Structure 1
């Protein structure tokens, strides 16, 4: 039994995909099935997210160790890795520590630099929902809409809402994420290097990877290339899934 919740699609060379902050493996099912035409795809819920365990420790160090343990449990000696946002930071840290376990690395819309905390609005919006007395998903959406105007972002966040026999609960560990949100922004060790092929793929409308970041990226990942999905924001894999798929598949081929 794995320590992390996961789903598997397809057969072939192992490909492990990690979601971003407030996400889950469910965000990747459609693309996971598509990649499953050529790979054995493992979609994984990271700790404190989805249906994986909740724990007071929450950092890229422990999440990279979770990934190492998961690969051991699945008898995977090495794999291609895709990580989006927070998941991208996890796979970068993992590749730094365990380069022999990584074949090719794909980092989606995040760089190795540190980022200032910018999820305060989302966390406040989550806490504004009276989860213990909530009566419907529609009610939660109406409450969130007072602080988050974008309908698509609200629908993404509401995937964290689970109905139970007693009402509703958040799937993610909101208290730990909120109290340790600085951990999510932390950068990779600047002395780190990963000497294998790496693709950084950014959204054309996103400001997470700037042209000014290229030198740092290439210094840590000397065999990296940087691609752009035009017309997509931070959730590039959801906004332009086929463009994302084609660029990543071409790189992994």
Structure 2
């Protein structure tokens, strides 16, 4: 069963750009980019299931998440879109391209390869679970709790975008239990079979381990037409190098026929 996803829709004419966030992110994380992109085109940014303001449900398989996005496009009467996904969202985008290639005008994959990864997110999930369970009074106390799990302030600030105020203190809006129970799907390969032959851009960070040179042959088996751009950044390349990220994405989209 598909879920009705919360989303941001700027409106506008032409082929829209659909933006899909990564694990523990949301459409809100992309607002600065959306503000720029909407000057040129319609932008639709989604909250995936168990993220942001979207419903919580069991199952984090990539086919399920891609079908949620397809259902939203159907609801919005969008026949074809440029689709951009970062990290986990990139795997959702690849799955979407495999399951319904006719719905994609182009594909942009930000710092992820179509493969399984061995590293986990135990620290991040543990930090958010601590906030959920202890209900701190404010964001300062929430940050102190998360600091017991995570040293890097930048990571804590990112996780804090998931905090909301409840009746008895701060809590989280993500479906932590649903994400944890199906984390194997998240860390696995995208769903679908075969290659996506449409126009594709892969943007990677030079300091990120997610798309290494050793991964490129396997990546090109799934995305054979992919253009590759490398930014001087880590995994969060769109946040670390926003202007450069905008430039490479806009240059690619400008070459596509709407």
Relative to the length of structure 1, the TM-score reads: 0.95
For structure 2, the residue ranges without an aligned partner over 5 or more in a row are none
How much has 1:132 moved relative to structure 2? 4.7
Task: Give the Cα separation in 2 of the matches to 1:107 and 1:130.
Answer: 32
Using the TM superposition, name which of 94-103 and 55-64 deviates more.
55-64
1:3 CA drift (Å): 1.2
Instruction: Assess if the C-alpha contact under 8 Å between 2:208 and 2:234 holds in 1.
Output: yes
Query: In the alignment, is residue 142 of structure 1 matched against residue 153 of structure 2?
Result: no
1:205 to partner: Cα distance? 1.1
Q: Which has the higher mean CA deviation after the structures are superposed, 195-204 or 8-17?
A: 8-17
1:119 is matched with 121
Could you list the runs of 5+ residues in structure 1 that have no partner in the other structure? none
Are 1:246 and 2:247 an aligned pair?
yes
Distance 2:50 2:137 in 1: 24
Which residue in 2 is equivalent to 1:72? 74
Q: 1:199–1:251: 8 Å Cα contact kept in structure 2? A: yes
* 164-173 vs 87-96, greater mean Cα deviation: 164-173
TM-score (norm 2): 0.93
Structure 1 CA distance for aligned equivalents of residues 247 and 196 of structure 2: 24
Q: Which runs of 4+ in 1 moved over 4 A?
A: none
Looking at structure 1, the residues matched to 99 and 87 of structure 2 have their Cα atoms a distance apart, in angstroms, of 19
Q: Whole-Å Cα distance in 2 between the matches of residues 8 and 142 of structure 1?
A: 35
8 Å Cα contact 2:21-2:27 kept in structure 1: yes
Q: For residues 109-160 of structure 1, what are the alpha-carbon distances to aligned partners after superposition, in whole Å with 9 as ceiling and x for unaligned?
A: 0000111142112122222335453211111101111221111110000111
Compute the RMSD of aligned alpha carbons. Answer: 1.5
Q: Is the partner of 1:39 in helix, strand or coil?
A: coil
Structure 1 pair 130/160, CA: closer, same or farther in 2 (3 Å)?
closer
